[in-house]
Structure 1
Amino acid sequence: MADDKSGRDKQARDAERRQRERDVVAELERGDETEPPVDPAELDDFEAALDAVEFPATGSDVVAAVGDRTLTEGGESYTVEELVPDTDEERFSSTAAVRMRVQRPRIAAAMKRIVEASDSLPNVDLGTSQREAYEKTFRELKAIDEDDEDEGIRVIGDWIVERIHEKEKLPGSRDVRRQAAKFCRKNGYSVRNDEWLGV
């Protein structure tokens, strides 16, 4: 981009647009959830790299453009390729949507496995409401303070993928929540009946 007034103006408008999108996403995400574990400055750099992608974009478009980029959660590093399904079925409306997906790498990695497993099923579509229910279950598991290694996310992600392969269909969100509640209770984490996992 040229370093002239119009180029600087475009950069400023792009930065303002990205900030507005982040604010909207943050407001929607706010509540009793845990804070995103990836450093916001790292996410800002990642989002700037997404300027090369034309939105709406597929998961394949995102992976092709920034798949080798690294994001760090705690002591672990993840490439974007490990977090975003490399498929044309996965669609993102904006850079903010991609940012929201990768800001919790362990959840994103579990969802990537589920999306890729469901891609192999004929006539099966992982709809928005079902995806949101799976992600909410993973966020509830992430919120368990005592579970520093996020074992629950891994265990329930494995369970969903096994069900997809065994039964050749997606498990219902209620079944996933029930399985997550069993995991919690088995490992000494309390689950009340009025909570998301309390089915």
Structure 2
Amino acid sequence: MADDKQGREKQAADEERRQRERALRTELERYDEAEPPIDDAELDEIEAELETVSFPATGAEIVDTVGRRRVAAGQETYAVEELLPEAEVETYESPAVVRSRIQRPTIAMAMKRIVEASETIPNVEYSASQRDAYEKTLRALQAVDTLDEDEGVRAITDWIVERIEEKGKLPGSRDVRREAGKLTRESGYEVRNDEWLGI
């Protein structure tokens, strides 16, 4: 490459792009750390309270038992009912599953909206694999959005809920990933084809 102004600018731009890509890869590898989790002691207490519930249990049963309990994540506090869908379409196999679902509040609130919106679909089949794919996509967006206060998570959640309302069915997980990848690229982040959002 020529050692002139244009060559130096291209080198600087390439280096900046590589740094952003490395940062994104690091965040995606550590996506469980994207937001402060709820304290383990509080999660232990919730699990103990759920010993009176017969599992598998619906979200409505869980919320009825511990919904008003408040938990802290970083500087924020949340009622458990803000984090779990009060719905019949999703069941929890054990207190440990409930714990894992509420551990990351931003993701939990997004999934609550999606699950509650899906209750409007007649005879909805909400598989565990589809739920897991939605959650993995939300976590990948959250890793990208560390500077944007989870704007991408809110945007893709809105998109999913709108599709449910418009089409009367859950969007496929590949469609959700594709839309999330598009949002990520529009935010100025490069997404490679071998990444979760690079579909």
Fold conserved between structures, TM > 0.5? yes
In the TM superposition, what is the alpha-carbon distance from 1:34 to its structure 2 partner?
Answer: 2.2
The CA deviation string for residues 84-113 of structure 1, in whole angstroms up to 9 with x for no partner, is 111222211111000011001111111111
Unaligned runs of 5+ in 1: 1-30
In the TM superposition, what is the alpha-carbon distance from 1:124 to its structure 2 partner?
Answer: 2.1
CA distance in 2, matches of 1:75, 1:188: 29
Aligned twin of 2:158: 158
- Conserved in 2, the CA contact under 8 Å of 1:71 and 1:78? yes
Question: Which structure carries more relative contact order (alpha carbon 8 Å, separation 6+)?
Answer: 2
CA distance in 2, matches of 1:169, 1:88: 17
CA distance in 2, matches of 1:154, 1:145: 10
In the TM superposition, what is the alpha-carbon distance from 1:190 to its structure 2 partner?
Answer: 2.4
Quick check: 1:144 aligned with 2:144? yes
How high is the TM-score relative to the length of structure 1? Answer: 0.79
Secondary structure in 1 aligned to 2:154?
Answer: helix
Aligned twin of 1:135: 135
CA distance in 2, matches of 1:151, 1:111: 15
Secondary structure in 1 aligned to 2:72?
Answer: strand
- Conserved in 2, the CA contact under 8 Å of 1:84 and 1:112? yes
**How many residue pairs were aligned?**
169
In the TM superposition, what is the alpha-carbon distance from 1:33 to its structure 2 partner?
Answer: 3.1
The CA deviation string for residues 58-117 of structure 1, in whole angstroms up to 9 with x for no partner, is 111100000001122232222111111112222111110000110011111111111111
Unaligned runs of 5+ in 2: 1-28
Moved over 6 A (4+): none
The higher radius of gyration belongs to 2
Secondary structure in 1 aligned to 2:98?
Answer: helix
How high is the TM-score relative to the length of structure 2? Answer: 0.79
In the TM superposition, what is the alpha-carbon distance from 1:51 to its structure 2 partner?
Answer: 2.1
- Conserved in 1, the CA contact under 8 Å of 2:145 and 2:151? no
Identity fraction in percent: 61
In the TM superposition, what is the alpha-carbon distance from 1:134 to its structure 2 partner?
Answer: 0.3
CA distance in 1, matches of 2:103, 2:134: 16
Aligned twin of 1:115: 115
CA distance in 2, matches of 1:76, 1:155: 21
Aligned twin of 2:74: 74
Computed over aligned residues only, the root mean square deviation of the Cα atoms, in angstroms, reads 1.6
Aligned twin of 1:185: 185
